[in-house]
Structure 1
Amino acid sequence: MTGSTENHQNQEGPRHKRDLTRRKVVVAGAGAAAAVGVGGTLAAGAFAGETKGKGAGAAASASSSAEACYKLTSETTEGPYYIDADKIRRDITEDKEGIPLTLSLKVIDSETCKPIRNAAVDIWHCDALGIYSGYESLSTGGGGAPTDAPSGTPTGTPSGTPTGAPPSGGTGGGGHEEPTDDERYLRGTWKTDRHGQVTFETIFPGWYRGRCVHIHTKVHVDGKWTDAGYEGGHTCHTGQFFFDEESVLASAEVEPYSTSTTERTTLTEDTIYDQSGTTGGLLRLKYNKKHIAKGVHASITVGVDPDETHDGTDDATQPSASASASAS
Structure 2
Amino acid sequence: MTGQETARGPKHKQDLTRRKVVAAGAGAVVAAGVGGTFAAGAFAGEETAAAEAKSAAKGKATGTSGEACYKLTSETTEGPYYIDADKLRRDVTEDQEGIPLTLRLKVIDSGSCKPLANAAVDIWHCNALGVYSGYEAMGSGGGGGGGGGGTPPSGTPTGSPSGPPPGGGGGGHEEPTDDERYLRGTWRTDKKGEVEFRTVFPGWYQGRCVHIHTKVHVNGTWTDAGYEGGTTCHTGQLFFDEESVLASAEVEPYSTNTTARTTLDEDTIYPGNGTEGGLLKLKYKKNAIARGVVATLTMGVDPAG
Could you say which TM-score interval applies, normalised by the shorter chain? Answer: 0.7 to 0.9
Matched, 1:40 2:54: no
Q: 1:137-158, CA deviations, whole angstroms, 9 ceiling, x for partnerless residues? A: 011324169x8248xx9612xx
Letter in 2 for 1:216: H
Task: Indicate the residue corresponding to 2:302 in structure 1.
Answer: 305
Q: How far apart are the structure 2 equivalents of 1:154 and 1:43?
A: 38
Matched, 1:235 2:232: yes
Task: Indicate the residue corresponding to 1:296 in structure 2.
Answer: 293
Task: Indicate the residue corresponding to 1:106 in structure 2.
Answer: 106
Task: Indicate the residue corresponding to 1:12 in structure 2.
Answer: none
- Normalised to the residue count of structure 2, the TM-score between the two structures is 0.72
Displacement of 1:70 after TM fit?
1.8
Q: Runs of 5+ in structure 1 lacking a partner?
A: 4-35, 50-67, 157-175, 309-328
Say if 1:106 and 1:302, in contact at 8 Å, map to a contact too. Answer: yes
Displacement of 1:43 after TM fit?
5.6
Task: Indicate the residue corresponding to 1:177 in structure 2.
Answer: 174
Letter in 2 for 1:200: F
Please give the secondary structure, in 2, of the residue aligned with 1:202: strand
Task: Indicate the residue corresponding to 1:134 in structure 2.
Answer: 134
CA RMSD of aligned residues (A): 2.6
Q: How far apart are the structure 2 equivalents of 1:288 and 1:44?
A: 24
TM alignment of 1:217-228, pairs within 5 A: 217-228=214-225
TM alignment of 1:61-72, pairs within 5 A: 70-72=70-72
- Specify which structure has the bigger relative contact order, considering alpha-carbon pairs within 8 angstroms and separated by 6 or more residues: 2
Displacement of 1:69 after TM fit?
5.5
Q: How far apart are the structure 1 equivalents of 2:189 and 2:77?
A: 23
Letter in 1 for 2:92: I
Task: Indicate the residue corresponding to 1:284 in structure 2.
Answer: 281
Letter in 2 for 1:155: G
Indicate which of 257, 264, 280 corresponds to 1:260. Answer: 257
TM alignment of 1:1-328, pairs within 5 A: 39-40=57-58, 42=60, 49=67, 70-139=70-139, 140-143=145-148, 148-149=166-167, 155-156=171-172, 176-308=173-305
Q: How many residues are matched?
A: 235
Q: How far apart are the structure 2 equivalents of 1:236 and 1:45?
A: 27
Task: Indicate the residue corresponding to 1:319 in structure 2.
Answer: none
Please give the secondary structure, in 2, of the residue aligned with 1:249: helix
- Normalised to the residue count of structure 1, the TM-score between the two structures is 0.67
Say if 1:101 and 1:298, in contact at 8 Å, map to a contact too. Answer: yes
Say if 1:130 and 1:144, in contact at 8 Å, map to a contact too. Answer: no
Query: Relative to 1, partners in 2 of residues 1:235 and 1:44: Cα closer, same or farther, differing over 3 Å?
Result: farther
Q: Runs of 5+ in structure 2 lacking a partner?
A: 1-20, 24-53, 140-144, 151-164
- The structure with more radius of gyration: 1
Letter in 2 for 1:232: G
Percent of paired sites with the same residue: 72
Which is richer in helix?
Answer: 2
Displacement of 1:41 after TM fit?
6.4
Q: How far apart are the structure 1 equivalents of 2:167 and 2:246?
A: 22
Q: How far apart are the structure 1 equivalents of 2:177 and 2:189?
A: 30
